[in-house]
Amino acid sequence: MQLSEAQRCELLRMHGTYLTEVCDKCGALLGPIRWTIHEVPGAWCSRSCRDGVNHQPGLCRGCGTALNGKRRRAIYCDRTCRMRTVRKEVRDSSNIVNTPIQKTGVTDAISGFGHRETGGRVRMRTNSPGLR
């Protein structure tokens, strides 16, 4: 967050430092080093303020194993670990990809469409007079 000119002058007078920004989350003063996100406005004082989690790069967020051999910005060791971690953190499972269809309530809506019990006999209806 940008400081106003009055706030900048006050900091210069009180601390002898001319700063222009503070952390968007905690309000800490930002010097020359700051955390940002590409094409997102804002600046933060640390990775934990920016991301909301204190994450060690090179370690899986779910189980903590090393990510050696994975792509550069990988944060989980595999798909199973990612899904396990997400399911622990998210309360509403309808928003999670790969949730089994039995748990979403969609099967009840589909079961009433297009299927009729015919008692074992199937009758075909045609418009052609020769096929009756």
- Residues 20-44: pLDDT tens digits? 888 888 888 888 888 888 888 888 9
The mean pLDDT value for 49-75 works out to 84
Does residue 17 sit within a domain? yes
Does residue 12 sit within a domain? yes
pTM above 0.75, yes or no: no
Does residue 86 sit within a domain? yes
- Please give the tally of structural domains in the chain: 1
Does residue 116 sit within a domain? no
Does residue 55 sit within a domain? yes
Does residue 96 sit within a domain? no
Assign 7 a pLDDT band (cuts: 50, 70, 90). Answer: confident
Round to whole Å and give the CA distance between 30 and 111.
58
Range of the domain at 61: 5-91
Does residue 130 sit within a domain? no
Contacts of 85 (CB under 8 A, 6+ apart): 61, 62, 76
Say if CB 84 and CB 65 are below 8 A apart. no
Q: What is the pLDDT of residues 73-124, one digit of tens each?
A: 888 999 889 888 888 877 666 666 665 555 555 555 555 555 555 555 555 5
Does residue 128 sit within a domain? no
